[in-house]
Amino acid sequence: MDINVILIIFLFLIGLILAYFVGQKIATIKRDRHWELEIPGHRKDAILKSRSVLGGLFSEQLAPFFPNFNFKPTECRFLGKPIDFIVFKGLDDKKVNEVVFVEVKRGKS
pLDDT tens profile 56-107: 788 788 888 888 888 899 989 988 788 888 999 988 888 899 999 988 876 6
b/e sequence 48-82, b meaning 16+ C-beta within 10 Å = eeeeeeeeeeeebeebbeeeebeeeeebbebeeee
Please give the pLDDT value at position 89.
92
Please give the pLDDT value at position 60.
81
Q: What's the predicted TM-score (pTM) here?
A: 0.51
Please give the pLDDT value at position 61.
83
- The count of other CB atoms within 10 Å of the CB of residue 100 is 13
Please give the pLDDT value at position 107.
63
Please give the pLDDT value at position 99.
93
Query: What's the one-letter identity of residue 11?
Result: L
Q: What would the pLDDT profile of 14-50 be if each residue is shown by its tens digit?
A: 999 999 999 999 999 999 999 999 999 999 999 999 9
Please give the pLDDT value at position 54.
85
